[in-house]
């Protein structure tokens, strides 16, 4: 079945996007910004650039029937609110500029919505194995860059909805807003449909003309960008010279060699776990730090345990790449307006409270540097990626087993929906998300908060861990260690609405 709608006008995401009139040039298009394009160029056969969004729904006690057809009907009625799911890539002739998004394209729901079955007994481990298979194949660039899988066979009257969305379409903030539109939330938008389309590819001559005009504009902006970059880096350097030297913090571009870092394979492994959001907040308040600091310190504790197991030691700090949004608008549902922080993780420190303190210090310094250099500088620099050679260069790098000195691991903490969502009347009881894997760094830890819980997701390849749930188990254990050290009384809270945690032998 193909669904379409009439285009609704609106401003572009940022100044780098070029809008085209439908007359004489087909449907409306807009240029991918530099970060969007980067996430396309870095995609290789072993480095997929899609993200995952996983919602577990519980149909116990709901009125009416919940099945694939009900979900399909629900999704079809929300599709007009999910503009990026109607985008299709348009390449520029001779790769003379970043690609463009062609808007308001037809969507073949028979292709994009799929059914999968979770094998018995239908628990967390079996679901995570299905998600791993979904994550292991790239998206077809000839179609809108997303797929949704309806997973049946879960125990306890549950189903899972597995969304695979190309990162070029949406970053973490945009994904949260998209998900809120896709779900029924009290006070949310009312579904409506419009069955017209304007999806007609522009003529090559118009694409080339737009590319030329855009390049002229970029050349004019280049001197200002160079000035801002030089000024920003000089500020960071001066500030670094003023700071106290702390040996327990890693220096930038000094990520050590670890078992975490190697050439990435195409196969993916996904593991999940759930923590109580109120407990994480309670620990953060008791220690006088942010929730993000607790998440990073927990990751440090988990990675310390894993390093000792696989490398036999954890004797120096490692570096986490932590994405940060530069535009947190609740109305933004597409594009990547992000930058990144390089944060030292003190995996070599035994005391969990000292790890928290060091993480808070490292995060504070990274945020200060980020402001000094300019939060949007990274995205602006990405605009000037050479489109003709970038994809081939990244493919060549992905085939080499070189050391990544910039990072050891990616860790992300995204505030998700605070209100409970529903799909076709069934409440969403768990929510997970993952980012992408990077060159030489095949471990991504993403934490999404949702209502009263924090969904912990680890994405990796099939060469890093014997069992990916070693990582999720180490993460929850590391949090309980911090919780105990912070003096929180009583047993840890178990999230009753979530699937039982996976037990790992050994």
Q: 291-311 vs 352-373: helix axis angle to the nearest 10? A: 120
Distance CA 245, CA 7 (A): 56
Distance CA 56, CA 450 (A): 12
Name the residues annotated as catalytic. 167
Mind giving me the DSSP string for 81-121? G-GGGG-EEEPPGGG-S--EEEPS--EEHHHHEEEEEPPTT
Short-list 282, 276, 268, CA closest to 501: 276
Under 8 Å between Cβ of 272 and 162: no
Distance CA 153, CA 139 (A): 25
CA torsion, points 213, 217, 218, 219, in degrees to nearest 10? 100
Query: Residue 295, SS3?
Result: helix
Does the N-terminal peptide bond of residue 178 adopt cis geometry, omega within 30 degrees of 0?
A: no
* Sheet with 158-166, edge to edge strand ranges: 113-117, 146-154, 158-166, 50-58, 426-434, 422-423
Alpha helix stretches (DSSP H) within 327-468: 352-373, 377-382, 390-398
**422 - beta bridge partners?**
184, 427
CA dihedral sign, ordered 305, 306, 309, 314: negative
Q: Angle at CA 195, nearest 5°, toward 189 and 201? A: 110
Short-list 298, 387, 312, 307, CA closest to 97: 387
Distance CA 249, CA 342 (A): 11
**360 - beta bridge partners?**
none
């Amino acid at each position: 079945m193909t669904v379409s709608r009439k285009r609704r006008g609106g401003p572009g995401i940022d100044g780098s996007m070029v809008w085209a009139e439908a007359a004489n040039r087909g449907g409306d298009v807009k240029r991918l910004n530099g970060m969007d394009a980067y996430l396309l160029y870095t995609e290789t056969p072993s480095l997929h650039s899609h993200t995952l969004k996983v919602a577990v729904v519980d149909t116990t006690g709901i009125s009416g029937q919940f099945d694939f057809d009900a979900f399909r009907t629900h999704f079809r009625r929300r599709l007009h609110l999910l503009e990026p799911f109607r985008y299709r890539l348009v390449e520029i002739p001779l790769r003379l500029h970043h690609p463009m998004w062609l808007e308001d394209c037809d969507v073949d729901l028979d292709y994009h919505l799929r059914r999968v079955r979770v094998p018995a007994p239908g628990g967390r481990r079996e679901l995570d194995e299905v998600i791993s298979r979904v994550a292991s194949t790239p998206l077809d660039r000839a179609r809108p860059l997303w797929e949704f899988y309806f997973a049946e066979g879960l125990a306890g009257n549950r189903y899972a909805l597995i969304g695979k969305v190309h990162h070029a379409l949406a970053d973490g903030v945009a994904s949260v807003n998209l998900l809120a539109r896709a779900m029924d939330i009290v006070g949310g938008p009312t579904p409506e449909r419009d069955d017209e389309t304007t999806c007609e590819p522009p003529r090559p001559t118009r694409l080339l003309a737009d590319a030329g005009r855009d390049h002229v504009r970029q050349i004019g902006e280049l001197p200002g960008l160079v000035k801002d970059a030089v000024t920003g880096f000089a500020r960071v350097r001066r500030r670094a010279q003023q700071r106290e030297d702390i040996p327990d913090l890693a220096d930038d571009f000094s990520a050590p060699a670890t078992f975490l870092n190697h050439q990435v394979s195409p196969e993916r492994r996904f593991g999940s776990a759930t923590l109580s959001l109120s407990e994480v907040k309670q620990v953060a308040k008791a220690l006088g730090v942010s929730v993000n600091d607790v998440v990073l310190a927990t990751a440090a504790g988990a990675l310390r345990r894993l390093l000792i197991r696989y490398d036999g030691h954890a004797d120096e700090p490692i570096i986490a790449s932590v994405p940060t949004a530069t535009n947190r608008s609740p109305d933004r549902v597409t594009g990547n307006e992000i930058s990144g922080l390089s944060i030292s993780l003190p995996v070599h420190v035994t005391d969990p409270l000292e790890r928290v303190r060091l993480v808070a210090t490292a995060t504070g310094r990274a945020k200060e540097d980020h402001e000094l250099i300019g939060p949007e500088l990274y995205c602006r620099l990405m605009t000037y990626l050479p489109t003709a050679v970038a994809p081939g260069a990244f493919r060549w790098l992905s085939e080499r087993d070189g050391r990544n000195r910039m990072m050891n691991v990616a860790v992300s903490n995204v505030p998700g929906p605070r209100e409970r969502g529903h799909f076709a009347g069934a409440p969403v009881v768990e929510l997970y998300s993952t980012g992408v894997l990077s060159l030489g760094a095949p471990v991504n830890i993403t934490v999404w908060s949702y209502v009263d819980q924090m969904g912990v997701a680890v994405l990796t390849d099939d060469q890093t861990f014997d069992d990916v749930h070693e990582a999720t188990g180490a993460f929850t254990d590391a949090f309980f260690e911090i919780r105990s050290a912070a003096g929180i009384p009583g047993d840890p809270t178990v999230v009753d609405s979530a699937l039982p945690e996976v037990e790992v032998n050994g």
